[in-house]
Amino acid sequence: MGKLQAIKNHETNEPVRLSDRASDNLRFIRETMERSTHFTAVPGYGGMLMGVTAVAAAYIASQQIYMRDWLIVWLTEAALAFGIGMLAMWQKSKIAKVSLVSAPAKKFAFGFAPPLIAGIAITLGLWRYEHYEMMAPVWMLLYGASVVTGGAFSVRVVPVMGWCFIALGAVAFAFPPRYGTYLMGASFGVMHIVFGLIIARRYGG
Amino acid sequence: MSRKNLAIKNESGPQPLRVEKAVGQSPEQLDKIIHDRTRLGIVSALAANEKLSFTELRNLLNTTDGNISVHARKLEDAGYLVCEKSFKGRTPLTEYSITTDGRAALGKYLDHMEALIAAMRGTER
Protein backbone atom coordinates (compact mmCIF):
# COMPACT_ATOMS: atom_id res chain seq x y z
CA MET A 1 0.00 0.00 0.00
CA GLY A 2 2.77 2.35 0.94
CA LYS A 3 4.57 1.61 -2.25
CA LEU A 4 1.46 2.20 -4.32
CA GLN A 5 1.10 5.57 -2.70
CA ALA A 6 4.65 6.43 -3.61
CA ILE A 7 4.09 5.58 -7.26
CA LYS A 8 0.92 7.63 -7.31
CA ASN A 9 2.79 10.59 -5.89
CA HIS A 10 5.42 10.19 -8.50
CA GLU A 11 2.82 10.16 -11.24
CA THR A 12 0.69 13.09 -10.16
CA ASN A 13 2.48 15.40 -7.77
CA GLU A 14 5.74 15.69 -9.60
CA PRO A 15 4.24 17.06 -12.85
CA VAL A 16 2.17 19.55 -10.84
CA ARG A 17 5.30 20.86 -9.24
CA LEU A 18 7.06 21.04 -12.60
CA SER A 19 4.30 22.95 -14.33
CA ASP A 20 3.88 25.24 -11.33
CA ARG A 21 7.53 26.05 -11.57
CA ALA A 22 7.16 26.58 -15.30
CA SER A 23 4.30 29.05 -14.91
CA ASP A 24 6.18 30.74 -12.10
CA ASN A 25 9.13 31.16 -14.46
CA LEU A 26 6.87 32.57 -17.17
CA ARG A 27 5.36 35.02 -14.69
CA PHE A 28 8.82 36.10 -13.60
CA ILE A 29 9.87 36.74 -17.21
CA ARG A 30 6.71 38.73 -17.94
CA GLU A 31 7.03 40.81 -14.79
CA THR A 32 10.69 41.53 -15.38
CA MET A 33 9.95 42.68 -18.93
CA GLU A 34 7.08 44.85 -17.72
CA ARG A 35 9.04 46.38 -14.89
CA SER A 36 11.95 47.13 -17.21
CA THR A 37 9.77 48.97 -19.71
CA HIS A 38 6.90 50.37 -17.65
CA PHE A 39 7.07 53.37 -15.42
CA THR A 40 5.12 52.40 -12.33
CA ALA A 41 5.85 55.38 -10.11
CA VAL A 42 2.82 57.36 -11.30
CA PRO A 43 1.45 58.52 -7.97
CA GLY A 44 -2.15 57.68 -7.05
CA TYR A 45 -2.46 59.45 -3.72
CA GLY A 46 -0.42 62.34 -5.12
CA GLY A 47 -2.90 62.56 -7.99
CA MET A 48 -5.77 62.69 -5.52
CA LEU A 49 -4.08 65.49 -3.60
CA MET A 50 -3.56 67.37 -6.88
CA GLY A 51 -7.28 66.90 -7.52
CA VAL A 52 -8.23 68.33 -4.14
CA THR A 53 -6.06 71.42 -4.66
CA ALA A 54 -7.55 71.82 -8.15
CA VAL A 55 -11.10 71.76 -6.77
CA ALA A 56 -10.08 74.44 -4.27
CA ALA A 57 -8.42 76.41 -7.07
CA ALA A 58 -11.55 76.15 -9.21
CA TYR A 59 -13.60 77.55 -6.34
CA ILE A 60 -11.19 80.45 -5.77
CA ALA A 61 -10.93 81.09 -9.52
CA SER A 62 -14.70 81.24 -9.88
CA GLN A 63 -14.75 84.09 -7.29
CA GLN A 64 -12.36 86.27 -9.28
CA ILE A 65 -13.66 89.29 -11.14
CA TYR A 66 -10.61 90.03 -13.26
CA MET A 67 -9.36 87.43 -15.70
CA ARG A 68 -5.82 88.30 -14.78
CA ASP A 69 -6.46 87.18 -11.19
CA TRP A 70 -8.21 84.10 -12.52
CA LEU A 71 -5.05 83.23 -14.46
CA ILE A 72 -2.83 83.83 -11.43
CA VAL A 73 -4.95 81.41 -9.37
CA TRP A 74 -4.53 78.68 -11.98
CA LEU A 75 -0.82 79.32 -12.49
CA THR A 76 -0.31 79.03 -8.73
CA GLU A 77 -2.31 75.80 -8.74
CA ALA A 78 -0.22 74.48 -11.66
CA ALA A 79 3.02 75.14 -9.78
CA LEU A 80 1.58 73.59 -6.63
CA ALA A 81 0.35 70.50 -8.50
CA PHE A 82 3.72 70.14 -10.23
CA GLY A 83 5.44 70.19 -6.86
CA ILE A 84 2.99 67.67 -5.40
CA GLY A 85 3.44 65.43 -8.44
CA MET A 86 7.21 65.43 -8.26
CA LEU A 87 7.23 64.84 -4.52
CA ALA A 88 4.67 62.03 -4.78
CA MET A 89 6.60 60.33 -7.60
CA TRP A 90 9.78 60.53 -5.59
CA GLN A 91 7.99 59.10 -2.55
CA LYS A 92 6.34 56.28 -4.51
CA SER A 93 9.54 55.33 -6.30
CA LYS A 94 11.29 55.16 -2.95
CA ILE A 95 8.63 52.84 -1.54
CA ALA A 96 8.55 50.66 -4.66
CA LYS A 97 12.37 50.72 -4.78
CA VAL A 98 12.44 51.72 -8.42
CA SER A 99 14.74 54.38 -9.76
CA LEU A 100 13.47 57.72 -11.01
CA VAL A 101 16.37 57.88 -13.46
CA SER A 102 15.69 54.43 -14.95
CA ALA A 103 15.00 53.89 -18.65
CA PRO A 104 11.19 53.77 -18.23
CA ALA A 105 11.24 56.89 -16.05
CA LYS A 106 13.19 58.73 -18.73
CA LYS A 107 10.72 57.58 -21.38
CA PHE A 108 7.87 58.82 -19.19
CA ALA A 109 9.53 62.23 -18.75
CA PHE A 110 10.35 62.60 -22.44
CA GLY A 111 6.81 61.57 -23.37
CA PHE A 112 5.21 63.85 -20.79
CA ALA A 113 7.25 67.02 -21.35
CA PRO A 114 6.63 68.05 -25.02
CA PRO A 115 2.86 68.70 -24.85
CA LEU A 116 3.32 70.35 -21.45
CA ILE A 117 5.98 72.72 -22.81
CA ALA A 118 3.79 73.43 -25.84
CA GLY A 119 0.98 74.20 -23.39
CA ILE A 120 3.12 76.71 -21.51
CA ALA A 121 4.07 78.42 -24.78
CA ILE A 122 0.46 78.58 -25.96
CA THR A 123 -0.63 79.96 -22.58
CA LEU A 124 1.92 82.77 -22.89
CA GLY A 125 0.64 83.48 -26.39
CA LEU A 126 -2.99 83.52 -25.28
CA TRP A 127 -2.07 85.78 -22.37
CA ARG A 128 -0.40 88.23 -24.69
CA TYR A 129 -3.50 88.50 -26.87
CA GLU A 130 -5.76 88.30 -23.82
CA HIS A 131 -7.67 85.24 -25.01
CA TYR A 132 -8.31 84.05 -21.46
CA GLU A 133 -11.42 82.14 -22.48
CA MET A 134 -9.30 79.81 -24.63
CA MET A 135 -7.01 78.82 -21.80
CA ALA A 136 -9.11 76.22 -19.95
CA PRO A 137 -9.81 74.03 -23.02
CA VAL A 138 -6.20 74.34 -24.19
CA TRP A 139 -4.90 73.31 -20.77
CA MET A 140 -7.17 70.29 -20.63
CA LEU A 141 -6.28 69.23 -24.18
CA LEU A 142 -2.52 69.59 -23.77
CA TYR A 143 -2.35 68.15 -20.26
CA GLY A 144 -4.38 65.23 -21.59
CA ALA A 145 -1.93 64.83 -24.47
CA SER A 146 0.94 64.88 -21.96
CA VAL A 147 -0.64 62.16 -19.86
CA VAL A 148 -1.38 60.01 -22.92
CA THR A 149 2.12 60.28 -24.41
CA GLY A 150 3.88 59.92 -21.06
CA GLY A 151 1.45 57.24 -19.96
CA ALA A 152 2.19 55.13 -23.03
CA PHE A 153 5.04 53.76 -20.92
CA SER A 154 3.00 53.34 -17.78
CA VAL A 155 0.05 51.29 -16.57
CA ARG A 156 -3.01 51.29 -18.86
CA VAL A 157 -5.21 53.49 -16.65
CA VAL A 158 -2.85 56.46 -17.07
CA PRO A 159 -3.36 57.01 -20.83
CA VAL A 160 -7.08 56.39 -20.30
CA MET A 161 -7.14 59.36 -17.92
CA GLY A 162 -5.29 61.41 -20.54
CA TRP A 163 -7.92 60.65 -23.16
CA CYS A 164 -10.65 61.72 -20.73
CA PHE A 165 -8.87 65.08 -20.34
CA ILE A 166 -8.66 65.45 -24.13
CA ALA A 167 -12.36 64.63 -24.50
CA LEU A 168 -13.35 67.15 -21.83
CA GLY A 169 -11.05 69.77 -23.34
CA ALA A 170 -12.65 69.32 -26.74
CA VAL A 171 -16.14 69.51 -25.21
CA ALA A 172 -15.15 72.69 -23.36
CA PHE A 173 -15.01 74.57 -26.67
CA ALA A 174 -18.71 73.88 -27.14
CA PHE A 175 -19.63 75.54 -23.83
CA PRO A 176 -19.70 79.27 -23.09
CA PRO A 177 -16.31 80.47 -21.71
CA ARG A 178 -17.65 80.98 -18.19
CA TYR A 179 -18.06 77.18 -17.86
CA GLY A 180 -14.29 76.83 -18.29
CA THR A 181 -13.65 77.14 -14.57
CA TYR A 182 -16.19 74.43 -13.72
CA LEU A 183 -14.81 72.12 -16.38
CA MET A 184 -11.32 72.74 -14.98
CA GLY A 185 -12.63 71.74 -11.57
CA ALA A 186 -14.22 68.63 -13.07
CA SER A 187 -11.12 67.58 -15.01
CA PHE A 188 -8.11 68.62 -12.96
CA GLY A 189 -10.13 68.21 -9.78
CA VAL A 190 -12.64 65.36 -9.88
CA MET A 191 -10.92 63.29 -12.59
CA HIS A 192 -7.59 63.44 -10.78
CA ILE A 193 -9.26 62.29 -7.59
CA VAL A 194 -11.11 59.41 -9.29
CA PHE A 195 -8.15 58.16 -11.33
CA GLY A 196 -5.79 58.78 -8.42
CA LEU A 197 -7.96 56.51 -6.32
CA ILE A 198 -7.90 53.79 -9.00
CA ILE A 199 -4.11 54.02 -9.33
CA ALA A 200 -3.60 54.07 -5.56
CA ARG A 201 -5.86 51.05 -5.05
CA ARG A 202 -4.56 48.93 -7.90
CA TYR A 203 -0.95 49.97 -8.32
CA GLY A 204 0.31 50.48 -4.81
CA GLY A 205 0.01 54.11 -3.79
CA MET B 1 26.56 8.72 -27.87
CA SER B 2 25.99 9.13 -24.18
CA ARG B 3 22.56 10.61 -24.86
CA LYS B 4 21.57 7.57 -26.88
CA ASN B 5 22.63 5.32 -24.05
CA LEU B 6 20.58 7.35 -21.65
CA ALA B 7 17.50 6.93 -23.83
CA ILE B 8 17.91 3.17 -23.90
CA LYS B 9 18.40 3.13 -20.18
CA ASN B 10 15.22 5.14 -19.72
CA GLU B 11 13.17 2.71 -21.76
CA SER B 12 14.29 -0.27 -19.78
CA GLY B 13 14.28 1.49 -16.45
CA PRO B 14 11.42 3.39 -14.79
CA GLN B 15 9.07 5.16 -17.16
CA PRO B 16 9.95 8.83 -17.63
CA LEU B 17 7.43 11.33 -16.33
CA ARG B 18 4.50 11.81 -18.67
CA VAL B 19 5.17 15.51 -18.82
CA GLU B 20 8.75 15.03 -19.86
CA LYS B 21 7.73 12.54 -22.50
CA ALA B 22 5.18 14.98 -23.90
CA VAL B 23 7.66 17.78 -23.95
CA GLY B 24 10.24 15.60 -25.56
CA GLN B 25 12.98 16.99 -23.42
CA SER B 26 14.51 15.78 -20.23
CA PRO B 27 15.48 18.32 -17.55
CA GLU B 28 19.10 17.90 -18.59
CA GLN B 29 18.29 19.56 -21.88
CA LEU B 30 17.00 22.66 -20.15
CA ASP B 31 19.19 25.66 -20.85
CA LYS B 32 21.10 25.85 -17.57
CA ILE B 33 22.65 29.18 -18.48
CA ILE B 34 19.31 30.92 -18.73
CA HIS B 35 17.48 28.89 -16.06
CA ASP B 36 19.12 30.75 -13.17
CA ARG B 37 16.84 33.45 -11.74
CA THR B 38 19.26 36.37 -12.00
CA ARG B 39 20.36 35.40 -15.49
CA LEU B 40 16.76 34.82 -16.60
CA GLY B 41 15.96 38.29 -15.28
CA ILE B 42 18.86 39.88 -17.12
CA VAL B 43 17.95 38.21 -20.42
CA SER B 44 14.23 39.05 -20.02
CA ALA B 45 14.92 42.69 -19.26
CA LEU B 46 17.34 43.00 -22.17
CA ALA B 47 14.85 41.33 -24.52
CA ALA B 48 12.41 44.15 -23.75
CA ASN B 49 14.94 46.99 -24.03
CA GLU B 50 17.44 47.97 -26.67
CA LYS B 51 20.12 48.28 -24.00
CA LEU B 52 20.32 48.63 -20.25
CA SER B 53 23.12 49.88 -18.08
CA PHE B 54 24.70 47.89 -15.29
CA THR B 55 23.03 50.11 -12.68
CA GLU B 56 19.62 49.83 -14.32
CA LEU B 57 19.86 46.04 -14.31
CA ARG B 58 21.01 45.99 -10.71
CA ASN B 59 18.13 48.21 -9.57
CA LEU B 60 15.60 46.36 -11.68
CA LEU B 61 16.54 42.95 -10.33
CA ASN B 62 17.13 44.31 -6.86
CA THR B 63 20.45 42.60 -6.37
CA THR B 64 24.11 43.39 -5.74
CA ASP B 65 26.85 44.67 -8.05
CA GLY B 66 28.81 41.45 -7.66
CA ASN B 67 25.84 39.27 -8.50
CA ILE B 68 25.06 41.16 -11.68
CA SER B 69 28.64 41.22 -12.89
CA VAL B 70 29.15 37.47 -12.30
CA HIS B 71 25.95 36.48 -14.06
CA ALA B 72 26.33 39.00 -16.87
CA ARG B 73 29.82 37.64 -17.49
CA LYS B 74 28.44 34.11 -17.71
CA LEU B 75 25.81 35.24 -20.23
CA GLU B 76 28.44 37.12 -22.16
CA ASP B 77 30.64 34.01 -22.29
CA ALA B 78 27.68 32.03 -23.62
CA GLY B 79 27.25 34.66 -26.35
CA TYR B 80 23.77 35.66 -25.13
CA LEU B 81 24.62 39.29 -24.53
CA VAL B 82 27.23 41.84 -25.45
CA CYS B 83 28.79 44.31 -23.10
CA GLU B 84 29.76 47.82 -24.14
CA LYS B 85 32.02 49.88 -21.92
CA SER B 86 32.31 53.61 -22.31
CA PHE B 87 32.60 56.76 -20.27
CA LYS B 88 29.85 59.15 -19.35
CA GLY B 89 31.85 62.17 -18.38
CA ARG B 90 34.36 60.65 -16.01
CA THR B 91 32.32 57.78 -14.70
CA PRO B 92 32.57 54.46 -16.51
CA LEU B 93 29.35 53.27 -18.10
CA THR B 94 28.68 49.60 -18.79
CA GLU B 95 25.79 48.82 -21.07
CA TYR B 96 24.43 45.45 -22.05
CA SER B 97 22.35 44.39 -24.98
CA ILE B 98 20.98 41.01 -26.03
CA THR B 99 22.36 39.07 -29.01
CA THR B 100 20.41 37.05 -31.57
CA ASP B 101 21.58 33.91 -29.78
CA GLY B 102 20.34 35.27 -26.47
CA ARG B 103 16.95 36.10 -27.91
CA ALA B 104 16.74 32.63 -29.46
CA ALA B 105 17.70 31.04 -26.14
CA LEU B 106 14.97 32.97 -24.32
CA GLY B 107 12.48 31.96 -27.02
CA LYS B 108 13.46 28.33 -26.63
CA TYR B 109 13.19 28.58 -22.86
CA LEU B 110 9.72 30.12 -23.13
CA ASP B 111 8.65 27.34 -25.53
CA HIS B 112 9.96 24.78 -23.08
CA MET B 113 8.03 26.28 -20.17
CA GLU B 114 4.85 26.53 -22.25
CA ALA B 115 5.21 22.95 -23.39
CA LEU B 116 5.59 21.85 -19.77
CA ILE B 117 2.38 23.64 -18.85
CA ALA B 118 0.51 22.39 -21.91
CA ALA B 119 1.62 18.83 -21.20
CA MET B 120 0.47 19.21 -17.63
CA ARG B 121 -2.95 20.36 -18.78
CA GLY B 122 -3.05 17.28 -21.00
CA THR B 123 -2.39 14.90 -18.12
CA GLU B 124 -5.04 16.54 -15.96
CA ARG B 125 -7.80 15.45 -18.32
d(CA A57, CA A84): 14
Which of the pair, B76 or B7, is modelled with greater confidence?
B76
Full residue range of the structural domain in which residue A20 is found: 1-37
Contact check, Cβ <8 Å, A22/B114: yes
Would residue B6 count as lying in a domain? Answer: no
Q: Is the ipTM of this complex over 0.90?
A: no
Instruction: Judge if A107 and A124 occupy the same domain.
Output: yes
Instruction: Judge if A62 and A146 occupy the same domain.
Output: yes
* pTM of this structure: 0.63
Q: How many CB pairs under 8 A join A and B?
A: 79
Calculate how close chain B gets to A94, using CA atoms only, in Å.
12
Instruction: Judge if A107 and A177 occupy the same domain.
Output: yes
Instruction: Judge if A2 and A103 occupy the same domain.
Output: no
Instruction: Judge if A25 and A107 occupy the same domain.
Output: no
**Who's near A4: CB < 8 A, 6+ residues apart?**
none
Q: What is the pLDDT along chain A (205 residues), one digit of tens a residue?
A: 444 444 444 444 555 577 788 889 998 998 888 778 777 778 889 999 999 999 999 999 999 999 999 999 999 999 999 999 999 988 888 776 666 766 677 888 899 999 999 999 999 999 999 999 999 999 999 999 999 999 887 888 999 999 999 999 999 999 998 899 999 999 999 999 999 999 988 877 7
Would residue B4 count as lying in a domain? Answer: no
d(CA B26, CA A181): 68
Instruction: Judge if A159 and A69 occupy the same domain.
Output: yes
Calculate how close chain B gets to A183, using CA atoms only, in Å.
40
- Smallest Cβ–Cβ distance between A18 and the set B47, B59, B116 belongs to B116
Domain CATH code at residue B76: 1.10.10.10
Would residue B30 count as lying in a domain? Answer: yes
**Who's near B34: CB < 8 A, 6+ residues apart?**
B40, B43, B80, B105, B106, B109
Contact check, Cβ <8 Å, B17/A15: yes
Instruction: Judge if A137 and A160 occupy the same domain.
Output: yes
Instruction: Judge if A70 and A152 occupy the same domain.
Output: yes
Full residue range of the structural domain in which residue B52 is found: 21-124
Which segments within chain B are labelled E, that is strand?
A: 52-53, 81-88, 91-98
| Structural domains of chain A, count | 2
Instruction: Judge if A150 and A61 occupy the same domain.
Output: yes
Instruction: Judge if A4 and A69 occupy the same domain.
Output: no
- DSSP bridge partners of A24: none
